[in-house]
Amino acid sequence: MSDFVQHAIFEHRFWLEIMQNHAQFIHDALYPSEKDDIQRANSFIHQFSQLLSYVPSLDGANAVSFSITVDDNVEQFKQFKLYLLRHQLSGDIGIHLTPTFVNHMVNELEEYQNVLSYLKKSEVPPIFHELHHHLIWLLDASGHAGIIHDDLDGVEKRLKQKSNEFAKHFEQFYLKAVELTGYLRTNMHSFPALSRFNKDVELEMTLFKTFLKELEEMELSAEVLGTFTAPMADHMWREEQYYLMKLAQAKEEG
């Protein structure tokens, strides 16, 4: 199996499951009165499920055409998310998701489109600089921790405090990443402060992954009170794992 096909399988397997999850979250969050949008979300769930089931059969002959097909589906899904966001901002749709949550789902989708732009050309996606990943995933992680805090029952004081601390730390890291990105204009792509930052983020993200696994296990055994779900915890864990893997690749390249 070629290097390109291996990368294509890995990226599609990760991202198509994320897209399917997003469609499921939207489907489950829409008010019952939003019948047309529920139907559209359901259609995307099935589309991404079918595409995901095809990934193991990718080879040198079909990986590019598959990526082109996926790209079309992802663009349609992006337009659906933006449609939902527009209606949220206008206040004329019933959905149990915040505009920021939907906006972050668009950010993630656009990173998949970035990856697809290479796969469509039969190219292995390049290893992007660490700060590229920090800017995408730190804001996302802060949002994840915020969702956990808001979805936990008020009596879960310790867990709420822990999730709130993660949210604050990731937000602080994100602001630092914005500044560090500005430093790249010096054409210095590696420097001691960035190395320390990478280590700090990796440590915090590893702790957060452990926290997510604990929450998932507690949710599955009904030991935690709140509306936060085990599938949501698993979804977040997979994203943080992808982030850490991409960081490791970037450091190796540097």
pLDDT beyond 80 at 134:
yes
DSSP string, 160-189: HHHHHHHHHHHHHHHHHHHHHHHHGGGT--
Is residue 242 predicted with pLDDT exceeding 80? Answer: yes
pLDDT in tens, 159-201: 999 999 999 999 999 999 999 999 999 999 999 999 999 999 9
Query: Do the domain assignments include residue 124?
Result: no
173 with 238, same domain? yes
Q: How many CB atoms lie within 10 A of CB 57?
A: 9
Q: Show which of 64, 91, 119 is a domain's final residue.
A: 119
Domain interval for residue 10: 3-119
Count how many Cα atoms sit within 13 Å of the Cα of residue 65 in the half-sphere of its side chain: 7
Q: Is residue 18 part of a domain?
A: yes
Split at pLDDT 50, 70, 90, the class of 252 is confident
Q: Answer yes or no: pTM beyond 0.85.
A: yes
> Does residue 220 surpass a pLDDT of 90?
no
Query: CA 168 to CA 142: how far, in whole Å?
Result: 7
CATH number, position 236: 1.20.1260.120
Position 98 in a domain: yes
- Assess whether 108 and 144 both reside in one domain: no
Does residue 105 sit in the same domain as residue 215? no
Is residue 3's pLDDT more than 70? yes
Q: What is the pLDDT of residue 160?
A: 95
As for how many domains the chain has, the answer is: 2
Residue 227: partners with Cβ closer than 8 Å, 6 or more residues away = 151
Distance between CA 74 and CA 80 in Å, rounded?
Answer: 10
Please indicate, yes or no, whether residues 141 and 225 belong to a single structural domain of this protein. yes
Q: Kindly report the CA angle at 24 between 19 and 28, in degrees rounded to 5?
A: 150
Per-residue pLDDT reduced to its tens digit, 75-113: 999 999 999 999 999 999 999 999 999 999 999 999 999
Nearest to 19 by CA among 238, 243, 246: 238
